[in-house]
Amino acid sequence: MNTSAKLGATVALGILAVLAPVPASAEPAISKLPVPPGSSQSLANDINDHGVIVGSALYGNASHALRWNTDGTVTELGAVPDAPNSSATAVNADGVAVGSAGNHAVRWAPDGSATRLPIPNGTKYCRALDINVHGLVVGRCGDQSNGLMTGRAVLWSANDQVTDLGTLPGDVAAYATGINDQSVVVGASVRNSLPRPARWSLFGMVTALALPEGGTSGEALGINNSGGIVGDVRITAPSRPSVDVAVRWTADGAATRLGGFSEGFRSGARGINSAGTTVGDATHEKDRQRHAARWKLGPAEDIGTLPDTPRGSVTSASAVNDSGVIVGTSGSWAVRWTS
């Protein structure tokens, strides 16, 4: 899952490890994922621990949800009536995928068949963003498909009952982005159009996650089974422009800035596995472009782009599994990084 195989506990280094330099990790090999004939663009959003990947591809003006299988083949996931556009955002250990089609949140069974998830009363659209091993699905619903600042964080049970997770006290909106196998949910709660990183417990209690110094807003985007969380926070400092930075929270809520490639330039964390490896992207000062990033024990590492990717293109990592295999996008294409 994009957000349920994520941060681990902070590693306490021994004296020898502290004294010795940490060797740089070898840059993983990047490869373009195959796409169905006629595709002009593709995205890889998540990978499970078996190596199954989900995302989407663009055919003409329509997006279609895809699954890349462990044998290297690609399969178009089942269509939903009256919904020409679809995208798969997450996949669990059993191969069940979730995402959206038209205005509906959708769950795809391992055989590719699609089921629309119910829309709560008073809303017009839903997006499913993550699923855990128990089949619990989280996402957002609202009146506008782009209404992050006005929508509701929701959870669908395995039998398709939908629950509004609520907001932090005094807030007006929320959205859920991730859930781990302990059914802890992360996302953001919104006040005055500013999102604040939030966590919902197994019992539904919502709490705010701490912001690092200078933080004014942010969102949690991933959680692992140890309760570690990753995401972004906007930092504001005197006489400097605001910048989004990658952040990791421990299970007890303490926040740490991960840092990007260049001080003062944006970074963002999207996924994390049980070993604590975190992935996302960051902007290089030298070319002002967003490159896929990996954080292990040290600073951000540039994990590479597809050859001949046009200047100005974005390369971003969206998820990493427990084998260290990373998926994301480089330029116009879904990619996989392997070590």
Q: Is the pLDDT of residue 146 over 60?
A: no
Give the global pTM.
0.91
Using pLDDT thresholds of 50, 70 and 90, give the confidence band for residue 286. Answer: confident
Q: What is the mean pLDDT of residues 58-62?
A: 93
Top-confidence residue, 223 or 146: 223
Domain ranges within the chain, ordered by starting residue:
29-338
CATH 2.130.10.10 fits 29-338, yes or no: yes
Contact partners, residue 67, CB within 8 Å, separation at least 6: 52, 53, 54, 74, 75, 77, 88, 91, 97, 108, 112
SS3 content of the chain, % helix, strand, coil (to 5): 0, 50, 50
Flag whether pLDDT at 223 surpasses 50.
yes
Mean of the pLDDT values across residues 120-149? 89
pLDDT exceeds cutoff 50 at 15: no
Q: According to the model, what pLDDT value does residue 1 have? A: 56
What was the pLDDT predicted at 145? 56
What pLDDT does 239 receive? 77
pLDDT at 9 over 50: no
